[in-house]
Structures are given as structure tokens and as C-alpha cells.
Amino acid sequence: MPCPCGLPEDYDACCGMFHSGKANAPTAQRLMRSRYCAFVKQDIRYLKETTWPAQQKHFDEAGYAARAADSIWLGLTVHATEEGSETDVRGTVTFTAKSMVNGVIDDHTEKSLFKKKSGNWFYVKAVA
């Protein structure tokens, strides 16, 4: 069964490696995909750890946990990636995460900023 992030590998060979700490996401897009998968798996710890370090103290664990638990995750579409390669230090990913909450479909489209620090990618903020 393919990973919830939309790539064809199974979870353990894809986002599971990042969630378990066996590897770090090599690109901004792979981090974004692994964060979507963390919502599906309700891995709030991973979401916090991959948030820009200065923002982690303000991370709303209860809010993220409620959003993850209340949603049926229906899929992820990546629309565009700008920079964010293994050799970059910043990049953006535009995506749509589709979910259903209380029977209502939600298409959350966002352009997210990612930055690399000490060789690891982090989610910084939505920019559009």
C-alpha cells in the first residue's frame, strides 16, 4: 500500500523513515509530504520537531492533535516546488491537502516556506 503522502513507496520505506528518526527529509518537498503523512498518522511529535526551532515553543500541540484526529485525510497534491533541493537552504512548496471534517470536504491549499538548519529541513510558515 502506498504511503499516505502520495508517493508509491510503502510507509516504512517513505515517510516512516523520517517519522522514526532513521533518516531526515532530504528536500523541502519530502519534508512537506512527511508532515502531511504525520497528520494522517497523528504523529504530533514529528510535526513539532519539524517546525522551525524558534517557533517550537509556541507550537499548539492540542490544536494540531485535534485537527489530525478530527479529520479523514483524503490525499495530497503538490502543485509547485521552488528551490528546496538537497543543496538549497530554503524553498517553498505549494500544495493542497484534502480532508473531511464532520462530513464536510476541506481543500487546504497553501504555499509553505521551508528552511534548512544544520542539515535538516524545517517548516517555517505559510506564505500564501
pLDDT recorded at residue 82: 98
pLDDT range class, residue 79, cuts 50, 70, 90: very high
39-49: pLDDT as tens digits: 999 999 999 99
**Any long-range contacts for 39-46 (C-beta under 8 Å, 24+ apart)?**
39/64, 39/67, 39/68, 39/71, 39/73, 39/97, 40/4, 40/68, 40/73, 41/4, 42/68, 42/69, 43/19, 44/68, 46/18, 46/19
Predicted TM-score of the model (pTM): 0.95
pLDDT range class, residue 128, cuts 50, 70, 90: confident
Over residues 100-120, the mean pLDDT reads 96
pLDDT range class, residue 1, cuts 50, 70, 90: confident
